[in-house]
Amino acid sequence: MSGGRDASRTDGDLAAANVAFWERVREVFHEAVALDSTARRELLADADARVREEVASLLASHDEAGDFLDTPILAHARLDHLTGSLVGPYRIVRLLGEGGMGAVYLGVREGAEFEQRVAVKVIRGGGESILRRFRQERQILAALEHPNIARMLDGGTTANGAPFLAMEYIEGTPIDEYAATHHLSVHERLRLFLTLCDAVQHAHRNLVIHRDIKPANVLITRDGVPKLLDFGIAKLISEVTVDATVTRMMTPDYASPEQLHGLPVSTATDVYSLGVLLYGLLANGKPFDGERRGDSEPVRPSLRNRALRGDLDNILMMALQSEPARRYGSVEQFAADIRRHLAGHPVTARPDTLLYRASKFTRRNKVVVAAAIVVAIVTAIAFMATLRQKRIAEHRFEQVRALARSFVFEIHDAIAPLPGSTRARELLVRRALVYLDGLAAEAQDSAELQRELARAYLRIGDVQGLPYQANLGDTAGALTSYRKALAIAERLLDDESSDEALLLAAEAHDRLGLVEQRALRWANAMEQHQTALALRGRVSAQGPNERVQLARTWVAIGDCRYVGGQRVAARFRGDGAAAYEEALRVLEHVPHRGAHLAELLNQIARANQRLGGYYSNPGRIAKFGPRCVAYHTAALHALEQRAALDASNAIAQRNVADQQVMTATAYVRLKDGANAVALAHSAIETLNALAAADPTNVEAQHDLAFAFETAGDGYAIDGKWDDAERAFQRCIDIRRKLVAGDASNREDLRGLAMEYERLAHVYEARGQGARAEKLRAESERMLAKM
Amino acid sequence: MTEVTQLLRDWSDGRNEAREAVLQLVYDPLRELAARHLHRERDGHTLQPTALVHELYLKLLQQRRVDWSDRGHFFAVAAQMMRRILVDYARRRKSDKRGGGAVPVTISDALDVAAQESLDIVALDEALESLGAVFPQQARIVELRFYGGLTIDETAEVLGISAATVSREWMMARAWLRRALEVK
């Protein structure tokens, strides 16, 4: 056996020597490869003969390597499965490109006398009736003959039944790239663009809309001839593709607003896309900063390129009008204006009139064109200021006032639920404030206008930063606006003590109080709410609305007493529950019908919910268990009624689920597992529906986590350990996702740690001590990390 | 953690037996699929391994049981598989052509593409094998870059080395392989 060991040592030595040799080769190669031939020779001269030989040979191979292995196999393999096969009469040569809707191949006509190269577009999707329509459309497109349009040659289905189109294969450069590399002048760019317009015009005359004009679809051949590709393809594809992916697939940069909104397209759609394309050619940039939304207003081209000031600015802005009817009526007109500009004649495009833009919102769907409306608001307010300066007739002033009121009170609400509307809302608020301030100074003598202004300030303050509802998080701004409203109301009160002025002042105080509450300045908050209470007491006509508002003030006072405790001034201290009960008493005889119903139900729910919370306090629940459940149930009942008023109101639905979880938590504290589980599951059902309706709604996920947690607690009470485990596990899954999506989300991270703790308890109860220990350790580790 | 994920971790920790296990685990079901596919294709006049490869990737991606969250590892496995699929295919083709065993099966044969026409799949595989015996890291770089389609930066990330190193070693590996194929 000793011989064997010797032999292996010898092998090892050899291997070691080998390793050393190759290491040396590697070192020298790396050093030499960066040098020129003379320096290489010098370097190699120093190396020993074997190393020298090896490195020299590798260097020689390296110098000859070219693009050897540079193209990964995968580059060929992806989706390229038609290469070599026959599609219709065409033999597929290679893949040219691919996208979500299919792939484009280079093909040649099999058996043709001369080589005819075609672009073969194979589209995903199929089905008999769809294919029939596809064939009809194809024939229309095949009839399109124009020197600047790539011809549609053929179409059909592949062996696998996928629809395909064969088009003239164009070798060329995208127009924007071409213009840049050839350093074309503005004049030359316009000329090129005009040729393109001819092509589009021709198609429009044949009743074909392109729908996807973008630089990648406008190739300039080696001879400088523009060729428009893919005419009408977007439509064909949309007809064969079942899902709505086409619009998503379209380059949103070039798509018109109507396309983005899925509205009917027209020749004006192509005008718009041509406008974007020309914009890119002239201004060297896109018309929109950052992410484009719905009806973003283009940046004036002259801001990107000063040379475009005047005609070209106006021409582009006209082509880029978000409303189709406001654009050039045809590509012909668009082109004609460019020709006029080139010839030095006056163009038809004019800067937008303020009056037009201020009024156009009324004709349009509020939600769909929300972003455009914001622009309109800003312009309209500017318009209003202009009117003020000009001191034009009183009735016009009133019109504008009505318009402004609609903006501040209605439009904001319309756009607020739109995802991502925050910036638009900010802009709205900022600009509205500037002009409101101006108007306030202007209208000192009209009490009616002053009241209106106070309401507008309150409203704007809410948007800026009213706590406990969606706001822009601008607390300082909110305080300023509320104080402005208050100042106006107080001035009005100086003149005469009208109910309206009293209510406005009370509202301002209540809102100031809420902001103070949020900042945990309980003493200040209480002062505000007490003042509001006093003002409300002076109101002579106590109708339903007044009562509902009074109840809200009482709830706020209860909060200050209950949560603020010793921090509020001694004279205002008291039992929170008594204030909440007072709120309920105020609401007792308010009729459950009329415009105030939703708000009435909300306030009933709030007061009951607070009382439920008050009695579910660990120190009270043992004694007041039934009372606690009764209040929570009453709150739930009111919220359910509220939600039933408007089934599409997601917030109302969420409030119901929220209350269900709260009630379930109370049951957990009362050790009533069955009721807790039942309520938690109702909440889960609602929240699942909400989450499904809006997958981006993080809040719904957050609520779901709580609901599952509560369900788990309920199961644990009854010793249903498997069910409890499942519920906690679901909760953990959700929280993990939430934490993964937002690293700063400490609330869910902490929640996660607590969930581990709960799950550990389940394992322990089932006698799985080791698993429980592991989870506990993990939980502690997470908490320690925070 | 799934078995595959664990194996992938072990592999990245340098345990080569784990790599073999991963390939077995992921590759076997795919090979079965490949066999069926080839069988189906055999009656037709064109054999399309590209379609096969493509389909294999789709299947691989669809393997929801496998935690492919680690993109780097996915490509590492994919690259290995691509290499194997091609070599298997080429060997089978060679043995099909009875008497013509010396005729190389090139990548363009396998993938029906114009580029890389002269590259002999089996020869490249063998050259890569011998490179790996001397410079294992270079062989892995080639695998990830050429078979896996990874960029220099991605390769660096998967291997946990700098992009500059990948770039350097890639250059030398290419020189080596090219020379090895030329000699043959």
**Nearest C-alpha of chain B: how many angstroms from A781?**
20
Q: Which residues of B touch A93 (CB under 8 A)?
A: 114
Mean pLDDT calculated for residue range A545-551: 95
User: Is residue A108 within a helix (H) or strand (E), and if so which, with residue range?
Assistant: strand A102-109
| Residues A320-326, mean pLDDT to the nearest whole number | 84
Which residue is closest to B110 within chain A, CA to CA?
Answer: A77
Please enumerate, as own/partner, the contacts of A48-54 that have beta carbons within 8 Å and a separation of 24 or more: A50/A21, A51/A21, A51/A24, A51/A25, A54/A25
* Chain A environment of B148 (Cβ under 8 Å): 72, 74
Tell me which residues of chain B, numbers 159 to 178, contact chain A at a CB-CB cutoff of 8 Å: 168, 171-172, 174-178
Say what the pLDDT of residue A541 is. Answer: 86
Q: What is the pLDDT of residue B47?
A: 37
Ramachandran bin of A520, using left for φ above 0, alpha for ψ from -120 to 50, beta for the remaining angles: left
Give A202's contacts (C-beta < 8 A, 6+ positions apart). Answer: A144, A146, A149
Q: How far is CA A218 from CA A134, A170, A751, in A?
A: 24, 10, 55
| Low-confidence winner among A199-203, A298-302, A416-420, A624-628 (lowest mean pLDDT) | A416-420
The verdict on a CB contact (< 8 Å) between B175 and A29 is: yes
Check if the interface score ipTM surpasses 0.85: no
* pLDDT tens digits, A168-196: 888 888 999 999 999 999 999 999 999 99
**Residues of chain B with C-beta less than 8 angstroms from the C-beta of A18:** 134
What is the distance in angstroms between the Cα of A689 and the nearest Cα belonging to chain B? 25
Nearest to B175 among A65, A74, A94 (CB): A65
> Using CA atoms in the order A435, A437, A439, A440, what is the torsion angle rounded to 10 degrees?
160
In 3D space, the residue among A260, A264, A372, A374 whose CA is nearest the CA of residue A321 turns out to be: A372
Residue A203 is encoded by which pair of tokens? Answer: 């198609």
The DSSP symbol for A593 reads: -
Q: Which residues of A touch B154 (CB under 8 A)?
A: none
Mean pLDDT of B68-92: 63
Chain B segment 6-45 residues within 8 A of A by beta carbon are none
Of B57, B142, B172, the CB nearest to A30: B172
Dihedral of CA atoms B120, B126, B128, B133 in degrees, nearest 10, equals -170
CA distance A503 to A511: 12
Q: Which residues of A touch B177 (CB under 8 A)?
A: 68-69
- SS3 string of A11-61? HHHHHHHHHHHHHHHHHHHHHHHCCCHHHHHHHHHHCCHHHHHHHHHHHHH
Q: What are the tens digits of pLDDT across the range A438-462?
A: 666 666 667 777 887 888 888 888 8
Residue of B nearest to A54 (CA): B176
Which residues of chain A from 64 to 83 reach within 8 Å of chain B, CB to CB? Answer: 64-65, 68-69, 71-81, 83
What is the mean pLDDT of the segment spanning A539-554? 93
Q: What's the pLDDT score for residue B118?
A: 59
Cβ neighbours of B178 in A, within 8 Å? 61-62, 64-65, 68-69
| Whole-number average pLDDT of chain B | 64
pLDDT bucket at B99, cuts 50 / 70 / 90:
very low
The torsion defined by the Cα of B64, B70, B72 and B75, in degrees rounded to 10, comes to 0
Q: Please report the number of interchain residue pairs, chain A to chain B, with beta-carbon separation below 8 angstroms.
A: 97
| Contact check, Cβ <8 Å, B48/A94 | no
CB of B93 less than 8 A from some CB of A: no
User: Mean of the per-residue pLDDT values for chain A?
Assistant: 79
Inter-chain contact A30–B134, Cβ cutoff 8 Å? no
For A38-61, how does the pLDDT look when each residue is reduced to its tens digit (9 = 90+)?
889 888 988 889 999 999 999 999
Query: Rg (Cα) of chain A, in Å, rounded?
Result: 36
Looking at the partner chain, which of A57, A58, A78 has a beta carbon nearest the beta carbon of B54? A78
pLDDT tens-digit readout, A683-734: 999 888 888 776 666 777 888 999 999 999 999 999 999 999 999 999 999 9
**Three-class DSSP category at A130:** helix
CA–CA dist A278, A596 (Å, integer):
54
- Distance (Å) of CA A743 to CA A736, A737, A738, A778: 11, 10, 9, 18
Q: Which of A236, A206, A231, A197 is nearest to A217 (CA)?
A: A231
Shortest CA distance from A26: residue in chain B: B172
Contacts of B168 in chain A (CB under 8 A): 30
Confidence tier at B100 by pLDDT (50, 70, 90): very low
Is the CB of residue A485 less than 8 Å from the CB of residue A506?
no
Q: What's the pLDDT at A677?
A: 96
pLDDT value at position A414? 60
Helix (H) or strand (E) holding A95, with range, is: strand A90-99
Closest-CA residue to A196 (of A225, A170, A233): A225
- Smallest Cα distance from A28 to chain B, Å: 11
Compare all CA atoms of chain A with the CA of B124 and give the residue at the minimum distance.
Answer: A69
Quick one: tokens of A387?
């009117």
Query: Which tokens belong to B98?
Result: 């009875």
Interface of A with B in 2-31 (CB under 8 A): 18, 22, 26, 29-30
CA Rg value for chain B: 17
Q: Is B115 on the interface with A (CB under 8 A)?
A: yes
Cβ of residue A59 closer than 8 Å to a chain B Cβ: yes
**Measured between beta carbons, which residues in chain B are less than 8 angstroms from residue A80?**
50, 54, 111-113
CB spacing of B171 vs A33 below 8 angstroms: yes
Which stretch of A202-216, A350-364, A654-668 has the lowest confidence by average pLDDT? A350-364
Inter-chain CB proximity B50 and A83 less than 8 Å: yes
pLDDT of residue A405: 62
Q: What is the pLDDT of residue A423?
A: 61
* Confidence at residue A359, expressed as pLDDT on a 0 to 100 scale: 35
In this structure, what DSSP letter does residue A569 have? -
Sheet holding A86-87, edge to edge: A86-87, A90-99, A102-109, A117-123, A163-168, A152-157
Which chain A residues touch B46 with a CB distance below 8 Å? 84-85
Cβ distance A69 to B146 less than 8 Å, yes or no, reads yes
Does the pLDDT value for residue A369 go beyond 70? no
Sign for the CA dihedral angle at A189, A194, A195, A199 comes to positive
Question: Is B46–A69 a contact, with Cβ atoms under 8 angstroms apart?
Answer: no
More confident residue, B175 or B183: B175
Angle at A276 between CA A320 and CA A239, to 5 degrees: 95
What pTM was estimated for this model as a whole?
A: 0.44
Which amino acid, one-letter code, is at A517? Q
Most confident region among A9-23, B25-39, B113-127, B148-162 by mean pLDDT: B148-162
B72 and chain A in contact, CB less than 8 A = no
Alpha carbons A586 and A604: distance in angstroms, whole number: 10
Shortest Cα distance, chain B CAs vs residue A709, angstroms: 24
| pLDDT band with cut points at 50, 70 and 90 for residue A101 | low
Interchain proximity B147–A72, CB inside 8 Å: yes
Q: Looking at chain B, how many residues does it have?
A: 184
CA distance B168 to chain A (A): 7
Joined tokens for residue A784: 């320690």
pLDDT > 50? residue A537: yes
Tell which residue, A48, A119, A50, A132, has the closest CA to residue A82. Answer: A119
Residue A68 contacts residue A61 (beta carbons within 8 Å): no
Q: Which residue of A has its CA nearest to B135?
A: A22
Token couple for A637: 């009942």
Min Cα separation B153/chain A (Å)? 15
Please tell me the least confidently modeled range out of A402-416, A469-483, A557-571, B137-151.
Answer: A402-416
**A591-637 pLDDT, tens digit each:** 998 888 999 999 999 999 999 988 988 778 888 889 999 999 999 99
Q: What is the pLDDT of residues A261-319, one digit of tens each?
A: 767 777 888 999 999 999 999 998 888 876 665 556 788 888 888 888 888 988 999 99
Nearest residue to A705 (alpha-carbon basis) of A733, A681, A675 = A733
Which residue intervals of chain B are DSSP H helices? 3-12, 16-42, 49-62, 71-96, 107-111, 121-134, 136-142, 152-159, 163-183
- Distance CA(A491)–CA(A167), nearest Å, equals 75
